[in-house]
Amino acid sequence: MTKTNLVVGCGFSGASIARKIAEELNEKVIVIDAKEHIAGNAYDYRDKNGIMIHKYGSHIFHTNLENVWAFVSRFASFNTYMHKVIALIDGIETTIPFNMRTLYDVFPETMAKRMEEKLLSHFEYNKKIPILEFQKQNDEDLKFLANYVYEKVFLHYTTKQWGVNPNEVDGAVTARVPVYISCDERYFQDKYQGIPFKGYTETIKNMLNHPNIEIRLKTKFEDFKGAYDRLFYTGPIDEFFNYKYGELPYRSVHFKFEELDMPYYQSNSVVNYPCNYDFTRIHEYKYYLDDRSDKTVIAKEYSEAFERGKNERYYPIPNEASAALYQKYSDEAKQLKNTYFLGRLGDYKYYDMDKAVNRALEVFEEIKNAVSY
């Protein structure tokens, strides 16, 4: 008899595992989501101006994982967009991560040249140094540079984003804000990068387009009626266990969208404001697919504490306390038969999209191997 699988959540994690099971195991899959749309936080849509809007913040697909790229490329054609991030530092627009070109944007040429020579004598070219490691310098010029980058790029932005002093933020987070000993101004250096020409929602729709897959939106897990043989849960693991050990902490964000009567508002798709304003950055979406319109749409991004029932979970907060709490839920999850947790909320990990897909592919291999016995 054919097994029935229940997948909770139809973002990249849920859609990927659903497709693999439906296609390779020829089993029935029911995918449910509490939202009124598919694609989770990767959801996008074309507005009345023909601009592709990323509802939950900018999403740029990038990966070095050949298997992941091969998989997602079955369901979408990608452009060759290479993401850059601009930051406003001392009133000057420059690229981040802070790199060799940034030196010449924010410092006088003679000073920038001196620092460039010292950086190349102390560090390997093309190396990324986490900012907290970079601060451990003996040279006076490099000490100055480290303190400058820490304050102008890292300190205030991190405080706004995470709501705590940077010293309280886990190293996995701080490592995402390096000093880059390179002239490469791209934010990511992955082999494969791009945006789906028809959007992420269409990509997920194509993944879920299989006769063995049934989709039910506006359906919460606790309200689901029906039998299933396996459960794949991409929702919050603490919610699954009714918060019996306590609530896992998250940061949330909200976006203030503005339609403006001008072709472009800013010089780049994303501009960060580390030291100015209450928002962390401004997204301008028409850059991603080179959408043409006399108008533009921007979104100012504000970080805030997650409050259950008020806003969305976005970023797990990695620290010793949250790791210990998650471990309790993880240990209990391992005792459940035919139940699998995955995704940013299920695994309580800050996954990029490619890592979320890869995790789903790994879970599928576990299932596939178990079925073959």
The CATH number that applies at residue 68 is 3.40.50.720
> Which pLDDT tens digit goes with each residue over 284-309?
999 999 999 999 999 999 999 999 99
Q: Is residue 297 situated within a structural domain?
A: no
Residue 177 has pLDDT above 90, yes or no: no
- DSSP state, 330? H
C-alpha distance from residue 74 to each of 28, 68, 251 (Å): 21, 10, 33
Mean per-residue pLDDT, 91-97? 96
> Which pLDDT tens digit goes with each residue over 62-85?
999 999 999 999 999 999 999 999
pLDDT confidence band for 171 (50 / 70 / 90): low
Q: Is residue 236 situated within a structural domain?
A: yes
pLDDT value at residue 164: 79
Is residue 35 within 8 A of residue 9, CB to CB? The reply is no
Q: Is residue 18 situated within a structural domain?
A: yes
Q: Which helix (H) or strand (E) holds 156?
A: helix 156-162
Residue 168 has pLDDT above 90, yes or no: no
pLDDT confidence band for 132 (50 / 70 / 90): confident
Burial (0-12, 13-18, 19+ Cβ within 10 Å), 365: exposed
Mean per-residue pLDDT, 194-213? 98
**One domain, residues 235 and 327:** yes
**One domain, residues 345 and 240:** yes
- Per the structure, how many domains does the chain have? 2
Instruction: Quote the mean pLDDT of the chain.
Output: 95
pLDDT value at residue 174: 61
pLDDT value at residue 370: 83
Domain boundary residue, one of 180, 209, 233: 180
C-alpha distance from residue 131 to each of 75, 126, 136, 174, 260 (Å): 38, 15, 9, 7, 36
Tally helices (H) and strands (E) across the chain: 13, 18
Mean per-residue pLDDT, 198-203? 98
pLDDT value at residue 167: 72
Q: How many residues does the chain have?
A: 373
Q: Residue 304's beta-bridge partner residues?
A: 252
Q: Is residue 263 situated within a structural domain?
A: no
The residue range of the domain holding 209 is 4-79+198-246+316-372
Q: Is residue 271 situated within a structural domain?
A: no
pLDDT confidence band for 135 (50 / 70 / 90): confident
**One domain, residues 164 and 90:** yes
**One domain, residues 66 and 139:** no
Q: Is residue 267 situated within a structural domain?
A: no
Q: Phi and psi of 170, rounded to 5°?
A: -60, 150
Mean per-residue pLDDT, 120-136? 90
Say how far apart CA 226 and CA 211 lie, in whole Å. 19
**One domain, residues 70 and 128:** no
CA–chain centroid gap for 24, Å, is: 28
Burial (0-12, 13-18, 19+ Cβ within 10 Å), 225: exposed
Q: Got the DSSP string for 159-196?
A: HHHHSS-GGGS-HHHHTTSEEE-SS---S---SEEE-B
| Of the candidate ranges 62-71, 172-181, 234-243, 324-333, the one whose mean pLDDT is the lowest | 172-181
pTM confidence score: 0.95
**One domain, residues 30 and 99:** no
**One domain, residues 29 and 132:** no
Domain boundary residue, one of 150, 180, 210: 180
**One domain, residues 110 and 235:** no
Mean per-residue pLDDT, 140-153? 92
**One domain, residues 214 and 348:** yes
pLDDT confidence band for 165 (50 / 70 / 90): confident
Q: Is residue 172 situated within a structural domain?
A: yes
Q: Is residue 233 situated within a structural domain?
A: yes
**One domain, residues 68 and 90:** no
pLDDT confidence band for 176 (50 / 70 / 90): low
**One domain, residues 104 and 163:** yes
**One domain, residues 157 and 219:** no
pLDDT value at residue 372: 63
> Which pLDDT tens digit goes with each residue over 205-241?
999 999 999 999 999 999 999 999 999 999 999 999 9
pLDDT value at residue 142: 92
Assign residue 61 a region: left if phi > 0, alpha if psi is -120 to 50, beta otherwise?
beta
pLDDT value at residue 62: 98
